[in-house]
Amino acid sequence: MTLSGGPPMVTLEFHDPSGAIEVKQAHAPRVRALAGKRIGFVSNEQWQAYRMLPLLKTLIETDFPGIEVLPIDAFPQGNAVIGSEETAALVKASGVDAVIIGNAA
Amino acid sequence: MTNAVAGLGLAPDAAMVTFPIEMFLPGSDISPVQARKREFYDGLTAWRSAFAADGAGEAPMIRVEGASVEDAFARANNLMLANRWGDGLPLWPPTRQRVDWILGGTAQPRRRPLGTFPPRGGMTTIESCAIALAMAGGRPEYLPVLVAAIEAFLDPESGSAQLQAASGSAFPVVIVNGPIGAAIRLNAGFGCLGPDPQRPAGASIGRALRLLQQNLGGALPGIGTMANYGGLRYTNVVFAEDEANLPAGWAPHGTERHGFATGTSSISLAFANGATNIRRRGAKKETPEEDALQGMYRMADFMRTPNMPGLAGYEHGTPGVLMLPGVVAQTMAGLGWTKASIREFLWEHSRISAEHLRRAGCPAWIEIDASKVVRESIDLDPWPITASPDNFIIVVAGGGHPTNSYWLQGYSPGVVGRAIELPPAFDRLLADAERDLGPR
């Protein structure tokens, strides 16, 4: 059916303008469970991260006894540095099993 | 936010816990973190991407049917809006025929990759540009300018990866130099930042750029771009420098900033997030010298404001683009002003006192900046709004009238130039335009 209710008479075929996306690498695998793991935080120190991330650290430590959660400032902080290769190398060298990154708005 | 990591080659989803903006404001109630703590735990343990690791796919062709041409056209437009591919204004459906016609504007292979469009990571090709230009009502002779602009946009030096998503409402500014501007009917004179049926190229090229930003780059308001206001984004800003009215000895912008030989068709891409008219002319019995100097002070005074977008381009970019009409440039040149001396004056007289910076809370922004040059600038009093006078962009453009100048407030980590590559049959395209649109 058409807007005017009559039979189709004109066909328009056109390109999908949204293109394609190439996924070159998978996201990091998840840990199976948090108990006994080592967790890090990477903070940009913005958008109340200085309040929210410490709260989250406390919650994780309370809910998973024996877990090790590194201090919020264990890695360089701030938008200027958290995306750098240097910070990534520090995170890797720390031996953490998983990282939480915050905050964006 | 769903686009945030796709441009890095990762799938366009990620393990995220999102909250309303209110929680990110000073003094907010952050108890929702506790209430939703399981979502954080799941993100670390159970979350899986919905995309396959090798999930690249060809975009399909779309079919619509209608009882008439008008009906099919309406259905196509409705579909494009429903799929979030439009901008609210009527679009030309990018049919094979229309896209192939647009591709006559280049000798490059249609599949030639130009990069991935941030933040979503859409694969960008010559054909992508032709599709967007077709949708925007463009013509083949516009394509070389759009392709050069996209190459510059996707250059990491432009800062587009961050500005596409940021809240600061950056829009690209494309300045065209060389003979191509007049040849394709790109406006350099009266109304050059607005609509003009006599010189319509800038609107189509800028709109196509915006459609690419949205459809390949994922910059949908409130989803892929957090731009608070998004001003000037329907068509962005695309204009030509008025080289015919450049005073003797004043080099075109493309030559000054990027080193292109005079007469080279080129583009220069920067970002801005503000645009304002500055009343430049005097009103009574000023001498020519007083008129010029008072106008210069008025422009510098306008720039001397503790707003911080200039930080983005403090070291290598630009604090903004100052547009001077040709008649003003001619008069000022006659009084001995040059583009360089105008820059020096603006740099010196737009400096902000440390006290004004302090009361507006600016030092905190300066202290956290990624650039060492910016961080160290905090000791300067008065504080220059950019590291070097050379960073100011001065272009001669606008109507032949002396009253006003125009300031595009920069938000531009870099200013990227590209030479424009023309196809061998370009003159035939111009002849076609003459046939279709009438004489220039």
B59 or A31: which carries more pLDDT confidence? Answer: A31
Low-confidence ranges of chain A (pLDDT < 50): none
Which residues from chain B sit within 8 angstroms of residue A33, using beta carbons? 45
Query: Which residues 109-138 of B are in CB contact (within 8 Å) with A?
Result: 116-117, 120-125, 127-128, 131-132, 135
Provide mean pLDDT across the span B60-89: 95
Q: What is the biggest distance separating any 2 CA atoms in chain A, rounded to whole angstroms?
A: 71
| H helix or E strand, kind and range, residue B64 | strand B61-66
Please give the Cα distance from A97 to B368 (Å, whole number).
29
Is residue B12's pLDDT more than 80?
Answer: no
B274 part of contact set with chain A, CB < 8 Å: no
**Pick from B259, B243, B139: which is nearest to B189 by CA?**
B243
Please give the Cα distance from B246 to B289 (Å, whole number).
19
pLDDT band at B297 (very low <50, low <70, confident <90, very high): very high
Please give the Cα distance from B273 to A65 (Å, whole number).
49
- Residue B295 backbone class (left: φ over 0; alpha: ψ -120 to 50; beta: rest): alpha
CA-based nearest distance B342→chain A, Å: 33
Is residue B313's pLDDT more than 60?
Answer: yes
pLDDT score, position B5: 59
Is residue B55's pLDDT more than 60?
Answer: no
Is residue B150's pLDDT more than 50?
Answer: yes
Is residue B103's pLDDT more than 90?
Answer: yes
Which residues from chain A sit within 8 angstroms of residue B117, using beta carbons? 19
Q: Do B4 and A104 touch (CB under 8 A)?
A: yes
Extract the runs of DSSP E, i.e. beta strands, from B158-265. 171-177, 237-240
Q: Domain segments of chain A: what residues?
A: 41-102
Q: Tokens for A65?
A: 């006894």
pLDDT score, position B4: 54
Average pLDDT across chain B, whole number = 94
CA angle A16, A17, A22 (to 5 degrees): 90
SS3 content of chain B, % helix, strand, coil (to 5): 40, 15, 45
A–B CB contacts, 8 A cutoff, strictly below: 197
How far the first Cα of chain B sits from its last, in Å, is: 45
CB A41 within 8 A of CB B40: no
Q: Partners of B173 in the beta sheet?
A: B237, B270
Which residues from chain A sit within 8 angstroms of residue B68, using beta carbons? 4, 9-10
pLDDT score, position B298: 96
pLDDT score, position B375: 95
Provide mean pLDDT across the span B146-162: 97
pLDDT score, position B1: 47
Provide mean pLDDT across the span B113-118: 94
Q: Domain segments of chain B: what residues?
A: 73-350+385-437
Is residue B2's pLDDT more than 70?
Answer: no
Q: How far is CA B433 from each of CA A62, B184, B402, B436, B438, rounded to the nearest angstrom? A: 72, 8, 32, 5, 7
B35 part of contact set with chain A, CB < 8 Å: no
ipTM: 0.89
Helix (H, G, I), strand (E, B) or coil at B268: strand
pLDDT band at B54 (very low <50, low <70, confident <90, very high): very low
Is residue B180's pLDDT more than 60?
Answer: yes
Is residue B207's pLDDT more than 60?
Answer: yes
pLDDT, one tens digit per residue, over B320-350 is: 999 999 999 999 999 999 999 999 999 999 9
Please give the Cα distance from B415 to B438 (Å, whole number).
35
The answer for residues whose C-beta is within 8 angstroms of residue A95's C-beta and 6 or more apart is: A38
